[in-house]
Amino acid sequence: MKIALISPRGPLYKHKKGIWKKSLRYAPLTLTSLASLVPKEINAKVEIYDEGIEDIPYNLDADLIGISAITGTSSRAYKLANYFRNKGITVVLGGVHPTLVPEEAAKYADSVVVGYAEQTWPQLLRDFKQGTLQKMYKEKNINLSDLPLPRRDMLRPRDYLTINTLEATRGCVHRCDFCVVNAAWGSKPFQKPISDVVKEIESIIEISNKRKLIFLDLNLIADKKYAKELFSALISLNVRWFGLSTVMIAWDDELLDLASKSGCNGLLIGFESLSEETLAKTSKKFNSLKDYYKIVDKLHEKGIAIMGCFVFGLDGDNKSVFKRTVDFCIKAKIDLPRFSICTPYPSTSLFNRLKEEGRILTEDWSLYDGQHVVF
């Protein structure tokens, strides 16, 4: 049995023409995690293709192809799915976008995986081998304990800034109306046992002989008790890591101190807007403009660099938003500002509201990438 796993190209990470070059590319976890979950008893040969760094062979030899798509890459995913299905190859679609709009994705695939895939993906493969493939699989119970390690050995380190990416948690407790997380997976967070995270890091160090890591958790400090225990466990490993957090890390001195001691060198933080009214409307009241400078100062004092994310085009913005935001980034000394256009991803609260108001301009998903105006 031959399985091919594909991550379609998008506008940011695009082979040869992407606007983000290798210096900002880190290895995604989806394909390597799916490869690790293939049951041994089906005796499959597995290949992975990240179209952000390589071309996909159109003469691909596979019995089953799994394609993982976000909204911005879904049009490309559908095109690939149609092509390979016309060649008689079974195609499975999964990822964020098929989870948000499963009925749409089902039009382009033999089967769709909705939500997480730790239990459903192995079952799907067993069903396929037995000739009983279902049209849709939905994860009912998720358990992050004792999972196999992602197949990082299938990646070429030269293609990425680092292949040492991992996660300790899933989900986020907040309900920001423009975010896909709550719409796709709900607000319940899930956690790996800290001992499992430590073992994975020890494995990474042993294999790569490198101690620089990127945590891909959407909000690593969602559960402060868990985060403190995790950071405490990392101290003895002598690693250096980058991750994602909310501004709330600055308001717990013990948590911030432990993050620094554990090797945190940088955090991606969504400041989003300099308008208190706008933050309130997007259900992100825990961000407060008056505290932004203090937050940056506190993190810098601990040696933590900040990738500050800002969104343009939220209701309440006017033309002054650009200069005000840039002036703030310079004055506050944000280490790496990142700007995007507000994008109402399908099935989010923002999309549903704008749809009701008749303000959605297009549902060409290839434009839903944070780089185009779609409402």
pLDDT in tens, 31-58: 999 999 999 999 999 999 999 888 899 9
CB-based contacts of 172, cutoff 8 Å, min separation 6: 179, 181, 182, 187, 189, 218, 219, 222
**Percent of the chain surpassing pLDDT 70:** 89
Q: Take residue 291 and report the two structure tokens written for it.
A: 């505290």
Q: Which amino acid is it at 134?
A: Q
Tracing tokens 């499959």 back to the chain, one arrives at: 44
Least-confidence region, from 49-58, 67-76, 147-156 = 49-58
Write down the H helix ranges in 25-131: 30-36, 74-86, 96-100, 102-106, 120-130
Q: Phi-psi category of 333—alpha, beta or left, where left has phi over 0 and alpha has psi -120 to 50?
A: left
Average pLDDT, the chain: 90
DSSP 3-state of 157: helix
pLDDT at 141 over 90: no
**Percent of the chain surpassing pLDDT 90:** 74
pLDDT at 23 over 70: no
Question: How many Cβ atoms sit within 10 Å of the Cβ of residue 52?
Answer: 20
Contact between 80 and 9 (Cβ < 8 Å):
no
Question: Which among 61, 57, 51, 108 has a CA at the least distance from the CA of 82?
Answer: 108
pLDDT at 18 over 60: no
How much is the pLDDT for 198? 97
pLDDT at 281 over 90: no
Q: Phi and psi (nearest 5°) for 53?
A: -125, -5
CA angle 297, 246, 243 (to 5 degrees): 90
DSSP 3-state of 292: helix
pLDDT mean over 173-202: 81
How much is the pLDDT for 216? 94
Q: Which amino acid is it at 263?
A: G
How much is the pLDDT for 20? 54
Residues 283-340: pLDDT tens digits? 555 555 558 899 999 999 999 999 999 999 988 888 999 999 999 999 999 999 999 9
Question: Could you tell me what percentage of the chain is helix, strand and coil, using 3-state DSSP and rounding each to the nearest 5?
Answer: 40, 20, 40
How much is the pLDDT for 182? 72
Q: Take residue 82 and report the two structure tokens written for it.
A: 């149609």
Contact between 307 and 269 (Cβ < 8 Å):
yes
Q: Which amino acid is it at 354?
A: L
